[in-house]
Chains A and B, each alone.
Chain A
Amino acid sequence: TQLLEQSPQFLSIQEGENLTVYCNSSSVFSSLQWYRQEPGEGPVLLVTVVTGGEVKKLKRLTFQFGDARKDSSLHITAAQPGDTGLYLCAGLPEPDYKLSFGAGTTVTVRA
């Protein structure tokens, strides 16, 4: 069983639409990271959230860390074809030092 439940697994939307990806757990995380990965490449770090209730914005991407530090969401506004990729959430469960990954969300944005 995975520590982080990521949903949905697949998401296909039209350019200009909004989307949200969720990561949920019953465990508390000292930090949570979001990555985007393109085929044949390694994951690229988008953001790290550390504080419960924290909201971070990266252009059209908004990341939220739950108050209890057990869940997180990634919201993309006005998605573009360049946003296409595999989005991975990964958390550091207290007091572990090993990242626990969600199953990933494959996002496809159609032009």
Chain B
Amino acid sequence: GAVVSQHPSRVICKSGTSVKIECRSLDFQATTMFWYRQFPKQSLMLMATSNEGSKATYEQGVEKDKFLINHASLTLSTLTVTSAHPEDSSFYICSASGQGPNQPQHFGDGTRLSIL
């Protein structure tokens, strides 16, 4: 089955630090990757959609300068949380889908980000 690897799984860092999270599709080419944020016991909230070789599309209310997304290849997308603050602490999850209609999204295992 399709495997999406997300790294790191957990980050604890000081306020003001920038943190990079990687999302890789291991056995398929992902033309589109998605970044989500999830609060405890809640559903996933889409932050942005990233397409290989083009700028990411951000959802309303998501600061593009705060959450930098790069999708440099068909198997890798990165999310950088710049100058992170405690309110950025959350569970961040990426997903990837292959080419073609009705392709399901396959999710990474998420990154627990804790800003002190």
Q: Which residues of A does B touch, CB under 8 Å?
A: 30-31, 33, 35, 40-45, 48, 50, 86, 88, 90, 92, 97-99, 101-104, 106
Contact = CB atoms under 8 A, between A and B. Distances in A.
Contact of A30 (B43, B44, B101, B108): B101
Contact of A88 (B4, B44, B49, B91): B44
Given A42-B93, A88-B43, A101-B44, A48 B102 contact: yes
A49 B45 CA distance: 22
A41 B10 CA distance: 11
Contact of A43 (B41, B44, B49, B101): B44
A42 B34 contact: no
B110 A40 contact: yes
Interface residues of B, number: 23
Interface string B89-104: 0010101000001101
B109 interface: yes
Interface of B: 4, 6, 32, 34, 41-44, 46, 49, 91, 93, 95, 101-102, 104-110, 112
A42 B104 contact: no
Contacts of A30: 101-102
- Determine chain A's interface SS by DSSP, over half rule: strand
Nearest to A50: B102
A31 B41 CA distance: 25
Question: Sorted from nearest, which 4 A-B pairs have the closest CB atoms?
Answer: A42-B107, A31-B102, A104-B43, A42-B109
Given A40-B110, A43-B93, A99 B102 contact: no
Nearest to A4: B43
B46 A103 contact: no
Contacts of A88: 43-44
